[in-house]
């Protein structure tokens, strides 16, 4: 049992190092590639090098990997329970979705557009799993699968956001979306 824990700790250390290199603007592509190779061939990764182990981590550990400056207090395991993690991701860009003349909410219409292509909205853990290797930290990405109704009755969803610093927040999905919003989806299985 202890070997598994230390293996996971090693994996988190490797990923943290890669994230720091990229975030700090490391220009030596060979150095970054060498670190990625260490991660890619770790037995905790699948044959394609995808970090499927992260979906099995606690929400607290996934959030720690994001190195956020601020995390909404309502983002807890109780409010967003673990409902599984898929890793075949696609990012939808609201600027490419034509919302003119829709007869349903922007939320429902976005989910319908995903379904047409065989995708469904991502949940919080899928968003954080995707974040580890894909998010550049400069644009907002929402996970529409898990919603939370706050004390005022407002429906909110998890969002990776960058306001000069990395933030994990809850954003309203009532009304329309901003033209630069992005939505993470996972392929239906």
> What is the fold, at CATH topology level, of the domain defined by 68-187?
Mannose-Binding Protein A; Chain A (3.10.100)
Model pTM score: 0.70
Distance separating alpha carbons of residues 186 and 126, to the nearest angstrom: 8
* pLDDT score for 45: 47
Q: Are 70 and 148 in contact (CB under 8 A)?
A: no
What tokens does 141 get? 């990405």
| Cα–Cα distance, 152 to 136 (Å, whole number) | 32
Beta strands in the chain (DSSP E): 70-71, 89-93, 119-121, 141-142, 148-149, 155-162, 166-172, 182-187
- State residue 104's pLDDT score: 82
CA-CA distances (angstroms) from residue 41 to 56, 143, 186?
18, 29, 24
Q: What is the pLDDT of residue 1?
A: 36
Q: Where in the chain is the domain with CATH 3.10.100?
A: 68-187
Integer Cα distance of 47 and 77 in angstroms? 29
CA–CA distances in Å: residue 33 to residues 21, 22, 106, 143, 156: 11, 11, 40, 29, 38
The tens-digit pLDDT sequence of the chain (189 residues) is 333 444 556 666 666 666 666 666 656 666 666 666 655 444 444 444 445 545 467 888 889 888 899 999 999 999 999 888 888 899 999 888 888 888 788 889 999 999 999 999 999 999 999 998 888 888 899 999 999 998 888 889 999 998 888 999 999 887 778 878 899 999 987
């Amino acid at each position: 049992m202890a070997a598994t824990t230390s293996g996971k700790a090693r994996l988190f250390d490797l990923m943290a190092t890669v994230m720091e290199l990229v975030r700090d603007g490391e220009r030596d592509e060979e150095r970054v590639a060498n670190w990625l190779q260490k991660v890619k061939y770790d037995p905790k990764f699948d044959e394609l090098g995808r970090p499927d182990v992260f979906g099995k981590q606690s929400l607290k550990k996934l959030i720690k990997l994001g190195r956020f400056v601020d995390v909404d207090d309502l983002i807890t395991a109780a409010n967003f329970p673990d409902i599984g993690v898929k890793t075949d991701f696609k990012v939808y860009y609201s600027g490419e979705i034509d919302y003119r003349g829709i007869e349903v909410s922007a939320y429902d219409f976005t989910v319908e557009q995903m379904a047409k292509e065989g995708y469904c909205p991502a949940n919080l853990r899928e968003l954080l799993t995707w974040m580890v290797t894909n998010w550049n930290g400069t644009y907002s990405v929402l996970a529409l699968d898990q919603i939370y109704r706050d004390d005022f009755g407002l429906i909110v969803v998890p969002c990776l956001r960058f306001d000069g610093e990395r933030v994990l927040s809850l954003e309203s999905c009532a009304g329309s979306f901003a033209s630069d919003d992005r939505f993470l989806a996972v392929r239906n299985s």
